[in-house]
Amino acid sequence: MFFQQIEKFLFDDSYYISSNFFYIRIYRWNPSLNLKPWFNIFPMRFKKFKQLMILDLLFDLKNNYDSTLTFRRSCREGICGSCSMNINGINSLACLQTFNPQSVQFLTIYPLPHMLVIKDLICDLTNFYNQFRLIKPWLINKKDDISYKKEILQSKLDRLVLDGLYECILCACCSASCPSYWWNYDKYLGPAILLQAYKWILDSRDLNKISRLNFLKNSTRITKCHHITNCTQVCPKNLNPAKIITLLKYFSSF
Ligand code: FES
């Protein structure tokens, strides 16, 4: 029955239009099985699902069809960034993305592109977080300053400057969509890390701006960006890393 549905779906257009099913195709790979990666296709009925969150669909599949399906998630609110994956060709967060089976009958889910896969939809983000550590993502202030151990206040204007930066949740959707990062992941920091670096440079409480900029002056850490702007198009938080990289290039040119 299942294969008949797939065959009809592939070769019979009328079936495609009138069918009560939609299909979820999920990239699978398990290092312990010694198999090549494969696709799992799950047929689902319209009736059960109308407009659904992708993360709910994945849970439904895991709980009712295949408990070995593996993916990351935590907050279910678009806050932690752990459910990033490639959904119908666009990097996004499974907990923010919805799917309407009446308009698209195939839902295809891959792990983030050009990342090493640990299992199924889970990528290895070690390189990404190592690069994050390189930019020293913490407040650097004078240690002998007595105010260092107290709350460091900002004016409302200084705080406003950080809008469009502090919202980044390091989901890696932007970096994993960037061809320059795909080919130079060991040299180029990528849009997410550069946006974070810019946040610390602009933060009025941080006193390490010059050395932060000097760190970025290395020929490839920032200049490998060719302004493809995929990063801005896919950011699930509607940030603009491409614009930030342009500003960083300008500031680090002095
Ligand atoms: Fe936290 Fe999706 S589960 S961002």
State whether the beta carbon of 82 lies less than 6 angstroms from ligand 1: yes
**CATH number of the domain that 10 lies in?**
3.10.20.30
Stretch 105-129: mean pLDDT, rounded? 96
Whether pLDDT at 131 is above 80: yes
Q: Which region among 17-31, 98-112, 238-252 has the lowest average model confidence (pLDDT)?
A: 17-31
Q: Are residues 140 and 210 in the same domain?
A: yes
Q: Are residues 232 and 164 in the same domain?
A: yes
Ligand 1 centroid–CA 235 distance in Å is 14
Q: Are residues 158 and 119 in the same domain?
A: no
Q: Of 123, 139, 166, which residue constitutes the final position of a domain?
A: 123
pLDDT single digits (tens) 8-32 = 555 554 544 446 788 999 999 999 9
Q: Are residues 102 and 135 in the same domain?
A: no
What 8-state DSSP symbol labels residue 178? -
Q: Phi and psi for 108 in degrees, rounded to 5?
A: -115, 125
Q: Of 94, 123, 152, which residue constitutes the final position of a domain?
A: 123
Could you tell which of 82, 98, 121, 168 is best to mutate to test the pocket of ligand 1, judged by most ligand atoms within 8 Å of the CB? 82
**SS3 of 25, please?**
strand
Ligand 1 centroid–CA 10 distance in Å is 34
Q: Of 123, 143, 174, which residue constitutes the final position of a domain?
A: 123
Q: What Rg, from alpha-carbon coordinates, does the chain have? A: 22
Structural domain range at position 209: 126-252
State whether the beta carbon of 93 lies less than 6 angstroms from ligand 1: yes
pLDDT single digits (tens) 173-192 = 999 999 999 999 999 999 99
Residue 210 makes CB contacts below 8 A (sequence gap 6+) with none
Can you give the pLDDT at residue 21? Answer: 81
State whether the beta carbon of 83 lies less than 6 angstroms from ligand 1: yes
Whether pLDDT at 3 is above 80: no
User: ∠ CA 17-23-28 to the nearest 5 degrees?
Assistant: 155
Predicted model pTM = 0.88
Whether pLDDT at 195 is above 90: yes
Q: Are residues 198 and 236 in the same domain?
A: yes
Q: Are residues 112 and 188 in the same domain?
A: no
Q: Are residues 137 and 247 in the same domain?
A: yes
Can you give the pLDDT at residue 8? Answer: 56
Q: Are residues 118 and 133 in the same domain?
A: no
Q: How many CB atoms within 10 Å of residue 179?
A: 12
Ligand 1 centroid–CA 139 distance in Å is 26
How many domains are contained in the chain? 2
Ligand 1 centroid–CA 113 distance in Å is 18
Q: Which region among 7-21, 72-86, 141-155, 232-246 has the lowest average model confidence (pLDDT)?
A: 7-21
Determine what percent of the chain is predicted with pLDDT higher than 70.
88
Stretch 118-137: mean pLDDT, rounded? 97
Q: Report which of 9, 17, 108 is spatially closest to residue 58, judged by C-alpha positions.
A: 108
Q: Report which of 181, 71, 205, 75 is spatially closest to residue 131, judged by C-alpha positions.
A: 181
Q: Are residues 196 and 82 in the same domain?
A: no
Ligand 1 centroid–CA 54 distance in Å is 11
Ligand 1 atom with minimal separation from the 73 CA = 3
pLDDT single digits (tens) 76-91 = 999 999 999 999 999 9
Q: Are residues 103 and 187 in the same domain?
A: no
State whether the beta carbon of 191 lies less than 6 angstroms from ligand 1: no
Q: Report which of 216, 178, 181 is spatially closest to residue 197, judged by C-alpha positions.
A: 216
CA–CA separation, 171 vs 184, rounded Å?
19
**Between residues 44 and 155, the one the model is more confident about:** 155
Q: Are residues 74 and 130 in the same domain?
A: no
Query: Most distant CA pair in the chain: distance in Å?
Result: 75
Q: How many CB atoms within 10 Å of residue 124?
A: 13
Could you tell which of 95, 168, 170, 235 is best to mutate to test the pocket of ligand 1, judged by most ligand atoms within 8 Å of the CB? 95
**CATH number of the domain that 248 lies in?**
1.10.1060.10
Q: Are residues 21 and 39 in the same domain?
A: yes
Ligand 1 centroid–CA 79 distance in Å is 6
